[in-house]
Amino acid sequence: MGTLVYGLGQSGIAATRALLKRGEEVLAADARDDERLRRALTGLGVEGVLGAGPQVLDGAERVVVSPGIRPRDPVLRAAESRGVPVISEVGLGLELLGSGVRVAAVTGTNGKTTVVDLLHRMLDGTGVPHVVAGNSWCALTGCLDQARSAGVLALEVSSFQLHYLGNPGFEVAALLNVRPDHLNWHTSFEEYARDKLRVFVGQGSEDLALVSAGDPVGLEAVGRLAAQVLVVGEGETAVRDGRLLLRGREIAAVGELRFAGAHYLANALFAAAAAERLGASVEGVRAGILGYRLKPHRMDVVAEHAGVLYVDDSKATNPAAVGAALTSLEGPVVLILGGSEKQTDFSEILPHLGRCRAIVCQGEAGPGIFEYLRATGWGEACRLVSDLREAVAEAASLAREGDVILLSPGCASFDQFAGYAERGEEFARLVAELAGSKGGARR
């Protein structure tokens, strides 16, 4: 049969098209069966199976899997037991791309989209032709011709994509941080960390590996890496006296930037180191940083009312991101936590809760977070409500002039919303509705 493409989201559809373009025999399949998938199969003009089980593997020489499908899925478990190779859509893209493209790959629990976006701006600032693809961007198999033409690829890779990635050998590989996350997908934190470290597999002595001075997982791996290693946040690539230094050269002053927070400054340095390796000038790096604004739902001030700032950090879908958000703020915070359950350990936020006036727990994960915080001594500061609407109203009732109401959930959004962006938009709408009922707000 050739190749089974399993999972018909954006990446699965792109992979199917790329294989068909090469004249390969393809079977497209998905465990679900709905009208959208039927339309997708019709548009592809390929043989397909919906509601697929392990029998879909009959005759398959390999499986290309979409990132959202867990390794415990029955089809993937059957593939493993039968010895059928499984690769990710990114792995297929790299295979089809060939060896003539320089690739910088960025992964990490938090910050990878921001780093790739900054890298894109820095390369643009120098006029380096490049393509951006991967996790939050277009599927790699959907932009192969553009990447070959440009000759440079900035690639965002998630742990899901790395799990089935073979021997990539990236010219630049960046691991920003590893914190407990996606433990409903991975079997353990140890497996999650191993998958993140796969970004360095296949590198040689001429390649560049970037790790963070603040990340124990990356630092512990340094001695085993074959590439040249640059530790971001120490030595000559760090923030010193209010200046961002790249290998000892000042690229910007903190006061010039349109963003703040130690984690975002570290993101800028990771991007700068990767951009320099790919041909960006110091001037291009500087232009990219100075012109950069954070993407939506990352510490967005959505309103100010009655002396209270309302900040949307809906992109914070794990506790490490919540801790980073709290560290970047001054003044008392009323924190909104909770969303869909990911079996996440919230102990990482405990050292940062001292700046919180109150904590409002909501959503599917809300009761568990509430009970955990009560058990760790935060009971008097905690409130439990059912959903985001109630959380905004409760937070507003608790806040005082000079406070920040921070939506930094530490959880995914799928209990109430299609994604973190929709959650952030609803937060802004609820804030506007609340402020309007009390006499207006300033955005």
Complete DSSP assignment for 331-353: S-EEEEE--B-----GGGGGGGG
Please name the residues in contact with 153: beta carbons below 8 A apart, sequence gap of 6 or more. 97, 101, 102, 103, 104, 130, 131, 132, 133, 140, 147
CB 127 within 8 A of CB 76: no
CB 405 within 8 A of CB 305: no
- Specify the pLDDT at position 324: 83
Q: Does the pTM of the predicted model rise above 0.85? A: no
The total domain count for the chain is 3
Which of 295, 161, 277, 207 minimizes the C-alpha distance to 269? 277
- Specify the pLDDT at position 183: 60
What's the CATH code of the domain at 55? 3.40.50.720
What's the CATH code of the domain at 308? 3.90.190.20
What's the gap between Cα 141 and its chain centre? Answer: 19
User: Which residue numbers in the chain have pLDDT < 70?
Assistant: 1, 180-187, 260, 437-443
The verdict on residue 132 lying in a domain is yes
User: Which structural domain range is residue 80 located in?
Assistant: 2-84
Strand order in the sheet with 243-246: 238-240, 243-246, 249-253
**Are residues 330 and 266 located together in one domain of the fold?**
no
**Domain stops at, among 290, 309, 341:** 290
| Other residues' Cβ atoms within 10 Å of the Cβ of residue 38 | 12
**Are residues 411 and 394 located together in one domain of the fold?**
yes
**Are residues 39 and 161 located together in one domain of the fold?**
no
The verdict on residue 295 lying in a domain is no
